[in-house]
Structure 1
Amino acid sequence: QELFSLLKDQSVSRVVFSAKDTEFEKVARAVEACELQGVEAWIAASFIRSQIARPVFDALGNKPMLVLRSTPELSWELLAKEIFDRVGAATLIAFSMPLWIFAALGIMLKSPGAPIFYSQMRAGRYGKPFRMWKFRTMVANADKMLDQVKEDHGNQMEGPVFKLQNDPRIFPFGALLRKFSIDELPQLLNVVSGEMSLVGPRPLPVYEVEAFCELSHRRRLSVKPGITCEWQAGGRNTITSFEEWVAMDLKYIDNWSLWLDIKILFRTVPAVLFGKGAA
């Protein structure tokens, strides 16, 4: 129980276990806690527990270790993804600069007296908080209005995440930016800085992650969050079940490849160009 709380409250990427033969069952329960949240479990290889996906051997000093990894294998593809993300994001920033200027001018004209950009603390890999950037699409006091909006309009997403189509806090020009995902362009800066990826589970506000009911939901935090993902490429606001959303994210994690990222990016293009499923 103590480990469950630690994994939930802290940003943890790896747990190393060492136990006597009489303590194997305690270790097995602790390994399960790590597996559910996508945290690597390193175990002294004096015993092997079945029903754990992708066991690989490694070494810690001179001790042989069995690594139980429920995230994509470390490989040249992950290195290629890192390079592709940063180079691709920098290139997109350069080519999309006219849209940045369009968005900035539109916000200044249509919603003056408030910042052009909006930032919020989001949960990154292993739950580590980072500041995510967007073009502002809501009125200046939108965060303070959230509780009242929930009371008046409810939540179209089942679960701890708040989603509302036609959110009354969005001003008209902001709705245009959202329709074509122009508001997401500043997140390319998060990709260049290494906090996000072009493709990955969408980063959620820290307070929503803290409200997760199921421990297994945290496994979506085991990879870098992305600007686009399966549910965005497939229609964005057409999904109203958080369980379905998480299932799509976990399917992405379990089947990840560089080619899968490329396919999702290609599917995202028409969804953005035609405003498919946008709020």
Structure 2
Amino acid sequence: FYFFVFKISHAYSRVIFLIWSLATPVLLFSMHVTARKILHRFRTKGKNVRHAVVAGAGDLGVSLARELETIPWAGIDVIGFFDDKVNESKELKEMGKTILGDINTLPGYLESNDIDYVYIALPMRAEKKIFKILRECRSLGARIYLVPDLYVYGLHHAEMQSLGSLLVLNFNPNTEWKRSFDVIFSSLVLVCLSPLFFIIAWFVKFQDGGPIFYRHPRITSAGKEFACLKFRSMVVGADEQLEQLLAENPKLREEWESSFKLQDDPRVTKLGKFLRKTSLDELPQFINVFKGEMSVVGARPIVGKELTDFYKESAGRYCSMKPGITGAWQVERRSDGSSYDERVGMDDWYILNYSLWTDIKIIFKTIKRVFDGRGAV
């Protein structure tokens, strides 16, 4: 790096350094993908397969076996289960797996069979059985793994961390990469589209002299409230008019209470209809993203009443992440009549399955839907 910056030696070419810096990550990634594909091909043909048994044939053990079936490239074949209470079950028959014996017979089975992995999928209250397996089986040639049964409590995205000499489970999603992506993406949008921001702001101000932005309290991570920004698409005093509209029209009140939206809202201005149809009213939310109050992709921004009345047991998961400008519900259904339960389900799905690749796909789908103009409110 020193020679590159100051160019003090002819032995170190800047071009070579640049080629090396750019090519190395690409080569490493390509080698990783190639190796993974080769392993996938070999292992799906039954070659280079490792054998495993599971101690515990309950829901946790069955979930583990099914998870391993979804990643055949890992090359782990579950031979069967050991359990003291479960003899046979419908799930085991569907998977073609059997009970090989009870927990006490596990050491003898390992001695007489070539097993690579033992997965302990017992409830944490069965600590005596767990310690027995650890004490008697660690010297019998198989690697032993403990699968914690925390899924029973509906907790997701747990990450083991150290706190001094203690181990703690972090149930907050690991979103460091997501924050970096948000800062870079929102910065580019704010810089590149700044002329468009000023043009829209001028039109919003010119139409009636009212405020440019509409600030609405929404819920972000940990249940905190923030002011979600939008270009104002309604008449001045729209919040006060809402109560009068709902009082005078029972159908509108029913629609509002079921979805917190009005499909044909009379308070929307002509300019506001255009901004909403093209989703340009949501551009100021990139300021929220840059400030760290939202993400580019996430669950829908909602108000506190929605969280308590509709999300219920999903409220904790919702509050584990920041809401997004776009997300699974926005690109799959938008506002075209989907039920509120579907919205909650899509938010749940995203929170449990988010990834960088998922975010990128949602962003491209969002761009397509914006140009289509389908389903926008």
TM-score class normalised by the smaller sequence:
0.7 to 0.9
Post-superposition offset of 1:157: 6.6
Query: Which residue of 220, 242, 247 corresponds with 1:146?
Result: 242
Contact kept? 2:308, 2:315, Cα under 8 Å: no
Aligned counterparts of 1:81 and 1:229: Cα–Cα separation in 2: 14
Post-superposition offset of 1:203: 1.4
Is 1:174 paired with 2:277?
A: no
Alignment-derived partner of residue 113 in structure 1 = 209
Q: Determine helix, strand or coil for the equivalent of 2:319.
A: helix
Identity, in percent, stands at 39
Aligned counterparts of 2:338 and 2:331: Cα–Cα separation in 1: 15
Post-superposition offset of 1:109: 2.6
Q: Determine helix, strand or coil for the equivalent of 2:183.
A: helix
Q: Decide whether aligned partners of structure 1 residues 166 and 139 sit closer, same or farther in structure 2, where only a CA change above 3 A counts.
A: same
Aligned counterparts of 1:198 and 1:212: Cα–Cα separation in 2: 23
TM-score (normalizing by structure 2): 0.55
Alignment-derived partner of residue 165 in structure 1 = 263
Is 1:271 paired with 2:369?
A: yes
The AA in structure 2 aligned to 1:126 is A
TM-score (normalizing by structure 1): 0.73
Alignment-derived partner of residue 220 in structure 2 = 124
Aligned counterparts of 1:194 and 1:263: Cα–Cα separation in 2: 22
Q: Decide whether aligned partners of structure 1 residues 178 and 200 sit closer, same or farther in structure 2, where only a CA change above 3 A counts.
A: same
Alignment-derived partner of residue 250 in structure 1 = 348
Contact kept? 1:230, 1:249, Cα under 8 Å: yes
Post-superposition offset of 1:269: 0.3
Alignment-derived partner of residue 95 in structure 1 = 192
Q: What is the 5 A alignment of 1:60-79?
A: 60-65=163-168, 67=169, 69=171, 72=173, 74=174, 78-79=175-176
Write out per-residue CA displacement over residues 86-142 of structure 1, whole angstroms, 9 at most, x where no aligned residue.
1111111122223212311221232x1310111122111121111111100011111
Query: Which residue of 134, 146, 169 corresponds with 2:230?
Result: 134
Q: Decide whether aligned partners of structure 1 residues 155 and 183 sit closer, same or farther in structure 2, where only a CA change above 3 A counts.
A: farther
Q: Decide whether aligned partners of structure 1 residues 56 and 155 sit closer, same or farther in structure 2, where only a CA change above 3 A counts.
A: same
The AA in structure 1 aligned to 2:227 is R
Q: Determine helix, strand or coil for the equivalent of 1:64.
A: strand
Aligned counterparts of 1:223 and 1:238: Cα–Cα separation in 2: 25
Contact kept? 2:222, 2:319, Cα under 8 Å: yes
Post-superposition offset of 1:179: 0.5
Aligned counterparts of 1:198 and 1:245: Cα–Cα separation in 2: 18
Alignment-derived partner of residue 241 in structure 1 = 339
Q: Decide whether aligned partners of structure 1 residues 83 and 213 sit closer, same or farther in structure 2, where only a CA change above 3 A counts.
A: closer
Post-superposition offset of 1:209: 2.9
Post-superposition offset of 1:271: 0.8
Contact kept? 1:155, 1:164, Cα under 8 Å: no
Alignment-derived partner of residue 86 in structure 1 = 183
Aligned counterparts of 2:236 and 2:195: Cα–Cα separation in 1: 24
Aligned counterparts of 2:290 and 2:281: Cα–Cα separation in 1: 17
Aligned counterparts of 1:277 and 1:213: Cα–Cα separation in 2: 23
- For the aligned residue pairs, the C-alpha RMSD in angstroms reads 2.4
Contact kept? 1:235, 1:276, Cα under 8 Å: no
Is 1:195 paired with 2:293?
A: yes
The AA in structure 1 aligned to 2:164 is G
Structure 1 window deviating more from structure 2 (128-137 vs 47-56): it is 47-56
Q: Decide whether aligned partners of structure 1 residues 205 and 236 sit closer, same or farther in structure 2, where only a CA change above 3 A counts.
A: same
Post-superposition offset of 1:239: 4.0
Write out per-residue CA displacement over residues 42-75 of structure 1, whole angstroms, 9 at most, x where no aligned residue.
xxx997655245655433332333x273x64x2x
Post-superposition offset of 1:211: 3.8
The AA in structure 1 aligned to 2:194 is M
Runs of 5+ consecutive residues of structure 2 not aligned to the other structure: 1-123, 128-147
Post-superposition offset of 1:207: 4.0
Post-superposition offset of 1:241: 1.3
Aligned counterparts of 1:210 and 1:54: Cα–Cα separation in 2: 23
Aligned counterparts of 1:225 and 1:60: Cα–Cα separation in 2: 29
The AA in structure 2 aligned to 1:59 is S
Write out per-residue CA displacement over residues 179-204 of structure 1, whole angstroms, 9 at most, x where no aligned residue.
00111011100111111110001211
Q: Decide whether aligned partners of structure 1 residues 116 and 234 sit closer, same or farther in structure 2, where only a CA change above 3 A counts.
A: same
Query: Which residue of 162, 187, 196 corresponds with 1:59?
Result: 162
